[in-house]
Amino acid sequence: MTLNRRQMLIASGAAAVLGAGGWSRLLAAGSSKGSTKKVLFFTKSSGFAHSVVTRKPGEGQALAERILTRIGSEHGFEVVASKDGRLFDPDQIGQWDAFAFETTGDLTKPGSMDKEGHPISADGEKALYDAVRSGKGFMGMHCATDTFGHHRGQGADDPYIRMIGGEFSGYGPQQEAMLEVVDPDFPGVQAFGSKSFRINDEWYAQKHLADDLHVILVQVTKGMKGNDYQRPNYPETWTRLHGKGRVFYTSMGHREDVWENPKYQGLLLGAMGFITGKVDASTEPNIEKVTPGYKEIASK
């Protein structure tokens, strides 16, 4: 018997374990008339272009673009993958219900490696922040915290860093690491287990973490290789509110096999459901409780 994509997700556990409190509501919302949410998946980089969002000749979309577009379409989301920053212009931004970023660099600058598409204009960048504050959703994967503010030296004062909730501070070698589940009720997390799990990826260390983060997964630093991880545990996946807008971020998503993992795909579906209002999840700040040493960073 050949399984279709939805059946594969369910069979793998990425769908089924969401249960009546999450996945079923997401499916019900996605199949109801007129409820399709339009998400702009922006994959433009002005610096290093990650392989999962690099479009290879003759393949059209990149791996991450194909995956998010496909799983979104099966569950009530119209995901449009683009590198065209003009889609953020004030006369264009209103068509989107939410935004997903796997990006690097100052996106108002032309790309040195990723030469496709167009930079975001200054008006477009401002329009993004205004849109999220007014109620549109935002989600970032992996290198999204290595975007805008990290390349402008404004630190915690940068409007993008304030919105996403943290700033990339470095990384070590790719390795299998432990993540602790501190919010097992977030839709999609249950596939990974209710307490902790191990997974191989490139792990971003973060600084300038917002005090109002609702942490979902904690980066367990004990035993990790690399100077950037010689610090107390810190948030790895989180939500927060930015004005009226719902924000989600996870540092997972560097490796191709992570994007191909149905459990990770289930987490991203849950995140899209959350940021677009299809499903509810907590945004109550818990960062000081679950990662009390989050302000400490490794010395260089």
Q: Is residue 195 part of a domain?
A: no
Q: Is residue 247 part of a domain?
A: yes
Can you list the alpha helix ranges (DSSP code H) found in 199-250?
none
Q: Is residue 183 part of a domain?
A: no
Q: Is residue 239 part of a domain?
A: yes
Domain tally for the chain?
Answer: 1
- Specify the DSSP element, H or E, that contains 170: strand 167-171
- Specify the DSSP element, H or E, that contains 206: strand 204-207
Q: How many helices (H) and strands (E) does the chain have?
A: 8, 11
Q: Is residue 222 part of a domain?
A: no
| C-alpha 156, offset from chain centre | 19
Kindly tell me if the per-residue pLDDT of 13 is higher than 60: no
State the residue range of the domain holding 39.
5-168+235-284
Report helix, strand or coil for 60: coil
CB atoms near residue 91 (< 10 Å): 10
CB atoms near residue 299 (< 10 Å): 7
Q: In 3D, which of 53, 16, 45, 50 has the Cα closest to residue 104? A: 45
**How high is the pLDDT of residue 299?**
83
Q: pLDDT higher for 150 or 130?
A: 130
Per-residue pLDDT tens digits for 207-250: 999 999 999 999 999 999 999 999 999 999 999 999 999 999 99
Q: Average the pLDDT over 128-132 and give the result.
A: 98
Q: Is residue 204 part of a domain?
A: no
Q: In 3D, which of 172, 189, 177 has the Cα closest to residue 265? A: 189
Query: Distance (Å, rounded) from C-alpha 40 to C-alpha 266?
Result: 18
Q: How confident is the model at residue 10 (pLDDT cuts 50, 70, 90)?
A: very low
In eight-state DSSP terms, residue 43 is: -
Q: How many residues does the chain have?
A: 300
Q: Is residue 173 part of a domain?
A: no
Q: Is residue 149 part of a domain?
A: yes
Kindly tell me if the per-residue pLDDT of 29 is higher than 80: no
Read off the pTM: 0.91
Are the beta carbons of 198 and 178 closer than 8 angstroms? Answer: yes
- Read off the CATH number of the domain in which 127 is found: 3.40.50
Q: In 3D, which of 212, 179, 182 has the Cα closest to residue 283? A: 212
Question: What sign does the CA torsion over 74, 78, 79, 82 have?
Answer: positive
